[in-house]
């Protein structure tokens, strides 16, 4: 089945990204998938009906476990993204 991974902030597809999934159901566990240029990834049909969630944030931004959704063909998994913290330039101490 094909599922689209979306950035929680921009609601845009996460293209060419590795995403760690947490899976609940008969075949519970975790696995890593890679999205394609459209932000989609393939998940084996043996996970159909299981609950899946992202266990990582967007690249280089932290993040947390997202909401679990049913694993279905055409599903949309929102990956929780946190905005990067602004840092002061080096040498600028207050």
Query: Smallest Cα–Cα separation from 63: which of 43, 78, 50?
Result: 78
pLDDT tens across 12-54, in order?
999 999 999 999 999 899 999 999 999 999 999 999 999 999 9
CA distance 94 to 84: 21
Write down the pTM of the prediction.
0.77
CA distance 48 to 59: 27
Which structure tokens are listed for 90? 């080096």
CA distance 12 to 76: 11
The half-sphere exposure of 48 on its side-chain side, counting CA atoms within 13 A, is 7
Domains of the chain plus CATH, in order, are 2-79 (2.60.40)
């Amino acid at each position: 089945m094909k599922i689209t991974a979306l950035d929680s902030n921009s609601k845009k597809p996460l293209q060419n990204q590795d995403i760690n999934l947490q899976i609940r159901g008969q075949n519970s566990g975790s696995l890593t998938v890679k999205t394609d240029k459209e932000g989609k990834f393939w998940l084996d049909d043996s996970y159909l009906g299981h609950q899946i969630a992202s266990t990582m944030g967007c690249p280089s931004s932290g993040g947390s476990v997202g909401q679990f959704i049913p694993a279905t063909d055409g599903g949309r998994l929102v990956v929780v993204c946190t905005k990067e913290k602004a840092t002061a330039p080096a040498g600028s101490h207050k």
